[in-house]
Amino acid sequence: MIIRPIAPEEVGAVGELVVAAYVAGEHLSEGDAYAATLREVGPRMNYTLVATIDGEIVGTICLCPPDGQSPAVLAGPDEYEFRFLAIAPGAWGNGIGGALVAQSETQATAFGAQRMVISAIDLNERAINFYENLGYTRLPERDWSPTRAGNDTPDTSIRILAMYKELDLLSTL
């Protein structure tokens, strides 16, 4: 497996992969307005990594610094955040997701981050278990709800759980 930055000509395919994975995970329906955000990889291209096996893209992650330009939602000073983690549905359970998270943690640590913060919708039990097994802990005081287009009030029927992992421990291993 190779993990590398996305190439410009790959944004369309990666957008489709993200939507396919979220739909397969049963935490997004095809018609959901959020699918358009997931598909629109171009604006987050500079932060997006892909995993390939034999030249085929099998997974992606978006590693976001708190630089005011990345799509970070939670990350503050000393923190990095990853979003839009998605593995092609046929490739789940082979360690690709774990490898993308590990690579993101390594890069964030190298850039001086002390903590990784992430979000997962509450009904995505598979991802929440996966993150817990990778050492992530709930951060309930930073749970949030998204806004819908044209409405600034958070839609509290959607509950996004915050989780974190201390990264400074990695450098002492």
- Cβ atoms of 52 and 1 closer than 8 Å: yes
Per CB under 6 A, which region of 83-91, 106-114, 136-144, 157-165 contacts ligand COA? 83-91
- Cβ atoms of 120 and 131 closer than 8 Å: yes
How far, in Å, CA of 173 to CA of 162, rounded? Answer: 25
Per CB under 6 A, which region of 7-15, 108-116, 121-129, 150-158 contacts ligand COA? 121-129
**Which of 11, 63, 87, 113 is close enough to bind ligand COA by CB under 6 A?**
87
How far, in Å, CA of 158 to CA of 156, rounded? Answer: 5
Is residue 130 a contact point for ligand COA (CB under 6 A)? yes
Q: What is the nearest approach in angstroms of ligand COA to the Cβ of residue 150?
A: 25
Amino acid letter at 91?
A
- Cβ atoms of 94 and 53 closer than 8 Å: no
Kindly tell me which of 86 and 116 has the beta carbon lying closer to ligand COA.
86
How far, in Å, CA of 47 to CA of 61, rounded? Answer: 8
Per CB under 6 A, which region of 1-9, 38-46, 95-103, 144-152 contacts ligand COA? 95-103
Q: What is the nearest approach in angstroms of ligand COA to the Cβ of residue 137?
A: 15
Is residue 133 a contact point for ligand COA (CB under 6 A)? yes
Phi/psi at 57 (nearest 5 deg)?
Answer: -75, 125
Is residue 144 a contact point for ligand COA (CB under 6 A)? no
Phi/psi at 153 (nearest 5 deg)?
Answer: -85, 125
Is residue 126 a contact point for ligand COA (CB under 6 A)? yes
3-class secondary-structure state, position 148: strand
Kindly tell me which of 133 and 156 has the beta carbon lying closer to ligand COA.
133
Interface with ligand COA (CB under 6 A): 21-22, 25, 85-87, 92-98, 120, 124, 126-127, 129-130, 133
